[in-house]
Amino acid sequence: MVCFAAGALGALGACATRAPGDQVLQVHNRSKLSITSIQLSDCGGRLNAGRELLEQAITPTSTRNIALPSTCVNLLATNSRGQIAGEQRDLRMQPGASWTIR
């Protein structure tokens, strides 16, 4: 369920299989460090007990499209130093959603 994008809009043709009802979240890394992990969990679940979404780091100034379920989710992004780079709680996906990590 991960998509790779070179530009701000990205090409969805490079996506792995998306489940019916999934929405695409554009993740923009505007920090100085690579984002090495994005964990997904249900809103009722523990945030750090999530499923890994990234197969490859998001380098600084890069954008990655990630397919997410339209249900309520939590996201936790970690950088290359192992620090929390960003967090989204109780996120309900909408078409055209984006997340900028600074």
The residue ranking higher by pLDDT, 20 or 89, is 89
Per-residue pLDDT tens digits for 48-90: 567 899 999 999 999 999 998 888 899 999 999 999 999 999 9
- What's the domain count of the chain? 1
**Position 94 in a domain:** yes
> Are the C-beta atoms of 45 and 39 separated by less than 8 Å?
no
**Position 6 in a domain:** no
pTM, full prediction: 0.77
User: What pLDDT does residue 9 have?
Assistant: 33
**Position 77 in a domain:** yes
User: What pLDDT does residue 12 have?
Assistant: 34
The residue ranking higher by pLDDT, 14 or 37, is 37
Give DSSP secondary structure letters for 28-86.
Answer: EE-SSS-EEEEEEEETTS-GGG-EE--SS-B-TT-EEEEEE-SSEEEEEEEETTS-EEE
Please give the residue range of the domain that contains residue 97: 12-101
**Position 87 in a domain:** yes
**Position 63 in a domain:** yes
Question: What's the gap between Cα 50 and its chain centre?
Answer: 12
CATH number reported for the structural domain that contains residue 20 in this entry = 2.60.40
Separation CA 33–CA 41 (nearest Å): 23
